[in-house]
């Protein structure tokens, strides 16, 4: 983030450890208010610090009693030797292939699919009604594009495949899955930021 020039430069954060800022913690707390009437049977999250902090601010004291799983499989994509670089710098040095210097997209989808399928099976077996998942923007975008394009997840009326872009911090996505047919699923809400007072979007989509 280049504060001196007034230009916000997005970094290739990948799996590096970054702490939430005060505004980000406030955003997560606002999402918590939006979800306060929900009882979650299971909570699953990336084990990286920024996701754990987000979850803590969303759930507050409820986190102490949550049925919680932390998993490496929901980590952001490993970016290799460009992690920590500004995107523009990485692009200048390595060209358009800068995204592929670490974990491939196929490897990313493979680990996400494994964890997602296990989650669906466990939810069916244990009769979970509501599950809360906390993950990173690149993970969410790449995986849900895959679910729609390859696994034929349905989209709620008015939502298009082209709308599945990197979501804003603490945005809310809701997916309904038919427990009698786990391949039958619908994305009801994509990247809602209503809890933040209006529509928010990420202008820089270069990492996907």
Q: What is the 3-state secondary structure (H, E, C) of the chain?
A: CECCCCECCCECCCCCCCCCCHHHHHHHHHHHHHCCCCCCCEEEEECCHHHHHHHHHHHHHHHHHCCEEEEHHHCCCCCHHHCCCEHHHHHHHHHHHHHHCCCCHHHHHHHHHHHHHHHHHHHHHCCCCCEEEECCHHHHHHHHHHHHHCCCCEECCCCCHHHCCCCCCCCEEEEEECCCCCCCEEEEEEEECHHHCCCCCCCCCCCC
- Establish whether 50 is an annotated binding residue: yes
Binding site, annotated residues: 50
Binding site, annotated residues for substrate: 50
């Amino acid at each position: 983030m280049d504060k001196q020039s007034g230009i916000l430069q997005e970094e290739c954060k990948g799996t590096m450890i970054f702490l939430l800022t005060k505004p980000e913690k406030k955003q997560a707390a606002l999402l918590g208010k939006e979800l306060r009437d929900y009882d979650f049977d299971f909570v699953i999250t990336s084990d990286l610090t920024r996701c754990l902090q987000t979850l803590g601010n969303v759930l507050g004291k409820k986190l102490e009693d949550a049925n919680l799983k932390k998993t490496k499989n929901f980590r952001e994509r490993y970016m290799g030797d460009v992690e920590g670089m500004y995107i523009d710098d990485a692009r200048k040095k390595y060209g358009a292939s800068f995204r592929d210097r670490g974990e491939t997209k196929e490897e990313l989808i493979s680990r996400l699919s494994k964890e997602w399928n296990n989650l669906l099976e466990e939810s069916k077996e244990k009769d979970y009604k509501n599950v809360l998942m906390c993950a990173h923007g690149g993970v969410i975008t790449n995986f849900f594009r895959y679910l729609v394009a390859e696994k034929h997840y349905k989209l709620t009326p008015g939502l298009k495949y082209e709308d599945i872009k990197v979501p804003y911090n603490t945005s809310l996505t809701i997916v309904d899955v038919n427990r009698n047919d786990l391949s039958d699923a619908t994305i009801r809400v994509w990247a809602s930021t209503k809890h933040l007072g209006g529509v928010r979007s990420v202008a820089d989509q270069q990492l996907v």
